[in-house]
Amino acid sequence: MKSFMRDRFEDEGCEESIAESLDALGLASFEELFVEFSPEMERRSKELNERFAKRRLSDFAPIADGAPVFVGGGRCDRFVPIAIENMTSRVDLGAARRDKKPRVVRDVLRALVKYRENVARLLRAERVDAFVAVGGSPLIRAISLAVQKTRRSLVALPETLDPEQVELARACAELERFETVVVPERRGVLDLDSLTRLVVERGAELAALVVQYPNFYGALERVSHIAETVRKSGALLLACADPFSLSILRSPIEWGADLIVGGSAPFAKRLGDDLELGFVAGVDSLVRALPPSASKRESAFRSLAANQALAHFAFANPKDLRKAADDSRRLASRARAAFDRAGFRFLHDAPFLSEFAVKVDDPGAVNRYLRKWGIVGGYELDAALLFAFTEKRTAEEVEELVYFMKESRGVRDSFDELPRR
C-alpha cells in the first residue's frame, strides 16, 4: 500500500513536465522518440549486431577482473564516474518504452533535453535531432535522407569507415535500392585522388559521401579538403563522430560537413541490445527534413549502452569530457613514442587522436600472449593490432603493454605453460 501511494505521489505533476520536454524536443508524443526501421532492416541489423557484439563481448569480458583494456576500433573502455553510473538506472530507455510509467518517461525526456543541448554545444550545430533507433542506426537514417534529398542513387563509403557501419549501409542499399561504392584509403586516411576521380566520373549520381572523424583507425581525416571536393558534385557530406573526440577537436561542421551522426559508441554495445541512442546534427533545414517514423513495437527493449550514453552526455560536466579526451590524447602520444623506441612499426603515419595500429606478424597470437599476462590487447586487423588509449589507462600500464609486446616477438602460440598474472 505504501509503495502504491508513493508511486501515485511521484506520478503527480509528471504530465506537465513530460509535455514541456516533448515540446523542447520537437516531438508530438513519446513514441516519436523511437525511430523504427523496416522489419527486414531490423533483422539484418540484429544479425550484424550479434556478429560484431560477440567479438566485443570477448574483448571486454576481462573488465570485471580489472585487466587493462586497449581494444581500439571506436568502442573503448571509458571511465564512467560513479555519479553518472548511478544515473543510468534512472534513464532506462527500454523500461520507459515498455512500462510508460510517467515518472520514468519524465526522467528519460529530461535527460534527452540535456543530452541534445550538450551535443549541440559540442558539435557547434544549428539543430540536433536526438532519437532512439530501433533496428537500424543513425547513419542509416542520414543516408536515407541524403538519397531522398538529392534524388540520387550512389553513396560513397571510405575504407576508413567502421566495418559495422559499412555492413549496415550495404544492407540498407539492398533494401532501398541505391548503390554503394568504396573509396580506397591511403596511409590511413581517405585517398583524395580516388575521391576526386569518383566525383569527376560519377559526381552526377553521388548522393552522399560518409567520413568518420577520427576514422576507424584513429586517424584524423582531412575533412576540409574532402568537403571541398564533395561540394563540387552537389552531394552531401555525412560525418560519423562521437562527442568525446569533438570536445577537443574542431567539429566536422566547421570543416564543411552537412550532417554529423553519432550513436551509443564509444560505449560498447552489449549482445542483445535492441536500441541505439542516436543523433543527427547539422543545418536546421536538413535536420528538420529527417522523415518521422515512430516505433509501434511493444516488445521489451534492452538498452544498456544507450542508457550509459544518455546518462553520460546528459549529466557529465563538459570540462570533464574535455579533460578525458585530452588525457587520452596525451597518453596515446606517449604510447606511440614508447612503441617507436621499442622498434615497432606502425600501420599508418597519419595524425591521430587516441588510437593507432601497430604492425605484428600474428595479431591473434600476440593478443593471446598478452591475455596470459592480464592485458587485453588491440583490435585484430590483418597484420596489426589497433590500440586505444583512454583516460582509464595509466603510463605504467602502457609501459607494461609495450614490454610484453616486445616479449611476444620471440613467442608464437605455445602459451599454456606461461603463468597467469
Q: For residue 365, what is the domain's CATH number? A: 3.90.1150.10
pLDDT at 418 over 50: no
Please tell me the distance from the alpha carbon of residue 340 to that of residue 74, in angstroms, as a whole number: 23
Is residue 324 situated within a structural domain? yes
- Whether residue 277 is contained in a domain is answered as no
Q: Is residue 327 part of a domain?
A: yes
User: Is the overall model pTM greater than 0.85, yes or no?
Assistant: yes
- Is 388 among the domain residues? yes
At 31 the pLDDT is 86
Planar angle of CA 41, 296, 164, nearest 5 degrees: 25
Cα(125)–Cα(284) distance, rounded to whole angstroms?
Answer: 8
Give the count of domains, the chain.
1
Residues with Cβ < 8 Å from 89, sequence gap 6 or more? Answer: 307
The separation between the first and the last C-alpha atoms of the chain, rounded to the nearest angstrom, is 53
pLDDT digits (tens, 9 = 90+) for 275-330: 778 899 999 999 999 877 666 665 556 677 788 888 888 888 888 889 999 999 99
Between 193 and 122, whose confidence is greater? 193
Mean pLDDT for the chain?
A: 85
Residues 329 and 310: their CA atoms lie apart, in Å, by 24
233-271 residue pLDDT tens: 999 999 999 888 999 999 999 999 999 999 876 665 544
Omega of the bond prior to 266 within 30 degrees of 0, cis?
yes
Identify which has the larger pLDDT, 189 or 414: 189
Residue 323 covered by a domain: yes
DSSP letter (8 states) at residue 316: S
Q: Look at residue 215 and tell me if it is in a domain.
A: no
pLDDT digits (tens, 9 = 90+) for 337-384: 999 999 999 999 999 999 999 999 999 999 999 999 999 999 999 999
Confidence (pLDDT) at 169: 93
- Give the pLDDT confidence of 73-86 residue by residue, as tens digits: 877 788 777 777 77
Who has greater pLDDT, 242 or 56? 242
Answer whether residue 379 is part of any domain: yes
Structural domain boundaries, residue 324: 318-408
Is the residue at 401 inside a domain? yes
